[in-house]
Amino acid sequence: MSSTATLTPMETKPAEHATRTAVSVNRADKIFTLSRGKKLQALAEVDLEVREGEFVAIIGPSGCGKSTVLRLAAGLDRPTNGTVEIFGAAPHELATQHRLGVAFQEHALLPWASVRSNIALPYKVAGRKVDDARVDGLIELVGLKGFEKARPKQLSGGMRQRVSIARALALSPDLLLLDEPFGALDAVTRRRMNAELARIWGEEKITTILVTHDVDEALILADRVVVMTGRPGRVRTIKNVDFPRPRDAATTRSPEFHELVDELTSLLDANDGDAA
Amino acid sequence: MNTPTRTSVKVAYSLAGGALLILAAQLIGQFGLAGRAWPPVMDVVSYVTTPAGASLLWRNTLVTFSSAAQGFLLGAVIAVLGAALALVVPIIRPGMDRFAAILHAVPTIALAPLLITTVGREDAPAVIAALSVGFVMFVTMASGFANTSSAHQDLFTVIGANRTRRLARLELPRAVPAFFDGLTLSAPAAILGATIGEWFGAPMGLGLVIVSAMQNYQMALLWAAAMAATIMSLLAYLVFIQLQRVAMRRFT
């Protein structure tokens, strides 16, 4: 341990509780009631276990309920049937204890606040003193040094997403939920953001669920990939991803990587057929 | 490069429009096209420039301004607090909406006797101004508070915000542009409300000047008082529209 004394304390966490279950979704159904009594089943009997310190990606065709799984885990929605437990408790408890980090599809930054205040927001909402060193560190981590005083509308789409990821990381959450955080970006920026996220995750090792429709992104980042079917969303298959980290260009160019991409993509294609 | 030219063209247009309006009013008065109640503009202006006329108008304008400002402040404060209360305690929101609408629907003329017996002749103008301002401010603030995006609400839920912090860090800053929208609409309403309030026996003010000028057939004085009220109303509007622009830039 003495050799790692200079590292941040949270890096020792995964090793201590590597076997603990962080997220447990049990036979969860989600049925939305639309106008005039019409019902829409978004999820059907979804089972998902995420161990502490694990990075799980959920992929699926659009509208398959991926984001609904994330909303259940965040405590923003309740399952119609089945249960969702986060660290053995109800999901919203993690939020009220300020131990949850979420980066939404829309970045949801406060337009009147600077980059710095947006990242410091979780501290203020938690009633804690803002840890200036940590905020500075996060700004540097997401490559926004020099933009501390800028307001969201002065930033590009990719920069806003990075601010939103930094905000999600601010309180060193026990669970990080990422809902297509790079959905609106061009391919090049997206790859760069993937690399940055992999690096951030490598440093903080926070239990993470990433929702995406990009197979490459899932394979670059995740320990396991959950493939979901079209409406209603079900878990079709779960793939372990064993490529060594960091997964650089050498990994993504390897035949094994391409094979896995093809396999998962064909699973997604089959889903589109089912959904139609 | 383009902007200064465009601004000056705009200013030139408004000046030209104002000049045409004044000219038309002058000609209508001069040729008696609208009867004897419409004096030529120059008669009104020359009345305003006499020392007695100027001092009379100035003193009464100050009184009306002070009533309007008091009513403006009172109405705005009560309306913002009411809208914030309706936001924090959603169950009372429909009731408050209805109460505001009913209060607004009662004609001022009907309220006047009630106000004179309760708050007295001197304070009635401020209260009537407050009522007009309060309704506008309550409606704009209630919709400003309801205007928060669901993504922002979700964010505050997942970072574990309690009710007070959600109000202070999301809903209040988000409603700042609506607040200034409301003030822009309310400022002229406050002056109108104060002026009308002075019709019911106030000891001084532009409303009183208008009523007495009407009864004594002093057309130049009547128009001068109306002009003073209009100019005050326009100035208030111009001041608040600038603040509203700043707020829009800063908070969206």
Q: In the predicted model, what is the mean pLDDT of residues A232-257?
A: 86
Residues A133 and A258 grouped into a single domain:
no
Contact call for residues A18 and A202 (beta carbons, < 8 A): no
Does residue B215 carry a pLDDT above 80? yes
The whole-number pLDDT of residue B78 equals 95
Residues A147 and A86 grouped into a single domain:
no
Q: In the predicted model, what is the mean pLDDT of residues A100-106?
A: 89
With an 8 Å Cβ cutoff, are A104 and B155 in contact?
yes
With an 8 Å Cβ cutoff, are B169 and A121 in contact?
yes
Residues A66 and A198 grouped into a single domain:
yes
Residues A152 and A61 grouped into a single domain:
no
With an 8 Å Cβ cutoff, are B160 and A102 in contact?
no
The pLDDT tens digits for A182-238 are 877 778 878 888 888 888 888 878 899 999 988 989 999 999 999 988 778 888 889
The whole-number pLDDT of residue A107 equals 86
The whole-number pLDDT of residue A10 equals 47
The whole-number pLDDT of residue B69 equals 95
pLDDT over 70 percentage in chain A: 91
The whole-number pLDDT of residue A177 equals 94
Q: In the predicted model, what is the mean pLDDT of residues A75-98?
A: 90
Instruction: Give the 3-state DSSP-derived string for B88-131, with helices as H, strands as E and coil as C.
Output: HCHHHHHHHHHHHHHHHHCCHHHHHHHHHHHCCCCCHHHHHHHH
The pLDDT tens digits for A31-71 are 888 888 888 888 888 889 999 989 999 998 877 888 889 99
Q: Output the average pLDDT for chain A.
A: 84
Q: What CATH fold (topology level) applies to the domain B39-251?
A: MetI-like fold (1.10.3720)
Residue A272 class from Cβ within 10 Å (0-12 exposed, 13-18 middle, 19+ buried)?
Answer: middle
Residues A196 and A264 grouped into a single domain:
yes
Q: Residue A250: inside a domain, yes or no?
A: yes
Count each helix (H run) and each strand (E run) in chain B, helices first: 12, 0
Choosing from A132, A150, A172, the residue where a domain stops is A172
Residues of A in contact with B251 (CB under 8 A): 111-112
With an 8 Å Cβ cutoff, are A75 and B157 in contact?
yes
Residues A183 and A267 grouped into a single domain:
yes
DSSP for A1-27, written as a single string: -GGGTTS-GGGGHHHHTTTSEEEEEEE
Find the CB nearest B161 among A106, A125, A177: A125
Residues A57 and A191 grouped into a single domain:
yes
Q: In the predicted model, what is the mean pLDDT of residues B65-76?
A: 95
Find the CB nearest A125 among B149, B152, B169: B169
Does residue A17 carry a pLDDT above 50? no
Angstrom distance (rounded) from CA B69 to CA B239: 14
Does residue A30 carry a pLDDT above 60? yes
Choosing from A172, A200, A223, the residue where a domain stops is A172
Question: Judging by DSSP bridges, how do beta strands A39-51 and A235-240 pair with one another?
Answer: unpaired
Contact call for residues A166 and A120 (beta carbons, < 8 A): no
Within 115-154 of A, beta carbons closer than 8 Å to B belong to 121-122, 124-127
Residues A185 and A62 grouped into a single domain:
yes
With an 8 Å Cβ cutoff, are B173 and A110 in contact?
yes
The whole-number pLDDT of residue A72 equals 92
Residues A85 and A125 grouped into a single domain:
no
Find the CB nearest B157 among A76, A126, A177: A76
The residue range of the domain holding A185 is: 19-99+178-276
Domains identified in chain A, total number: 2
Find the CB nearest A100 among B151, B158, B173: B158
The whole-number pLDDT of residue A227 equals 92
Contact call for residues B173 and A112 (beta carbons, < 8 A): yes
Residues A58 and A136 grouped into a single domain:
no
Choosing from A172, A190, A207, the residue where a domain stops is A172
Q: How confident is the model at residue B125 (pLDDT cuts 50, 70, 90)?
A: very high
